[in-house]
Amino acid sequence: MDFANYWQLSDLVTKSLFFLLLALSILSWVTGITRVFQSRKLAINVADDLSQQIQAKRPDLANTDATSRRLVTEQVLLKHIGRYRYASERGLPILGTTAAIAPFIGLFGTVWGIFHALHNIGMSGQAGLGQVAGPVGEALIMTGLGIAVAIPAVVFYNLAVRINRRVMYQANDRAHDLLAQSAELSSAQTAAHTSVSSSVNEPAAVTTAQTGPGTGYNSDQQKAKPEEHYQRSATSQL
């Protein structure tokens, strides 16, 4: 039985199921190819894009302390990783839904074709090949169409999920590297600030150390002067 005979024997329900499977097939192919291409592109650029986002944010964090800088960096990284995840999952519900329902649509067409075969047998009263060949062939065609639509959708879905896992791995790996760099930068800035503060306070300490003994020495001399004056007075009276 060729397609022309099948189309003549099919009724409105079968034709509706055929167009539904055809639309799902076209949609899954277009979505699958687009999703795989975009996921591969995202996997190549995700690490560099994340680094650029953090580099653009660092001038705004130059005057903040280490805790605030780390907190802001973490929030920026989480925000962009969430955006990457959302962008990488676009179209996956279409592929998953098509892979799940296409076999059942084909099975429904199969049941409908068998129903037609049994109806023809009941109307004619004979179980010959002529009464069941058309409906059974219609049922088998609908089964094949359902499987043909579901298989590419499953393949595209699994391929896109695999690439998206690589995208998330690279994004998280670069995020940890950027957090480590931010911590090292904060430690270096803190050490530099501490060294500058110590160098500023050192001359004041030296001045205090030099002034202290001199003041004590003068005070002892002033205390000694009355005693010397008393001894001189006593000598003059003798």
Reply yes or no on whether the pLDDT at 160 is more than 90: yes
| Per-residue pLDDT, 234 | 39
Residue 93 pLDDT exceeds 90:
yes
Percentage with pLDDT > 90 across the chain = 25
Residue 206 is predicted with a pLDDT of 45
Quick one: pLDDT at residue 140? 81
Which has the higher per-residue pLDDT, 36 or 223? 36
| pLDDT for the residue 30 | 95
H/E/C letters for each residue in the chain? CCHHHHHHHCCHHHHHHHHHHHHHHHHHHHHHHHHHHHHHHHHHHHHHHHHHHHHHHHHHHCCCCHHHHHHHHHHHHHHHHHHHHHHHCCCHHHHHHHHHHHHHHHHHHHHHHHHHHHHHHHHHCCCCHHHHHHHHHHHHHHHHHHHHHHHHHHHHHHHHHHHHHHHHHHHHHHHHHHHHHHHHHHHHHHHHHHHHHHHHHHHHHHHHHHHHHHHHHHHHHHHHHHHHHHHHHHHHHC
What would the mean pLDDT of 81-102 be, rounded to a whole number? Answer: 91
Domain extents for the chain? 3-210
Among 137, 135, 146, 154, smallest CA distance to 106 is for 146
pLDDT of residue 188: 64
